Amino acid sequence: MRETENIHNELGSILIQKDAIASIARQSTLQSYGVVGLAPKNLGENIRQLFVKDAKYGVEVTYDHDGLVIDLYIVVEYGTRIKSISSSVANSVKYNVEKTVGLPVRRINVHVRGLRISNMD
């Protein structure tokens, strides 16, 4: 798996790191309604986050010849519609990544890893 994507055009080439794409997806996700945070992809990422702040925490980006595939691991607010939040997050991330990077996003998988109760009124 490559860590950068190389785009060629008539003026030269552009290298885009997957961390940059993950950072864009992360910010788009955290700004979406109903999302209270990101969750670790696995136990190793959870332990690594204790020692080093990782820009791609909760986000996994892969690239194939058809476009980007982005996996998001989120925690949502209790009492909100999970299907609506997932759809909204996927649309927001797709729009922001395609607009910013210029690569097609083929698929976005939203994994809801938990619910959080914020207000105990």
Q: Is 52 exposed, middle or buried (0-12, 13-18, 19+ CB in 10 A)?
A: exposed
When divided into structural domains, the chain yields a total of: 1
pLDDT score recorded for residue 1:
43
Residues 51-89: pLDDT tens digits? 666 667 889 999 887 889 999 999 999 989 999 999 999
Burial 81-114, CB ≥16 within 10 A → b, else e: eeeebbebbbebbbebbeeebeeebeebebebee
Q: Is residue 11 part of a domain?
A: yes
Q: Is residue 121 part of a domain?
A: no
CATH number at residue 103: 3.30.70.1350
Range of the domain at 50: 4-116
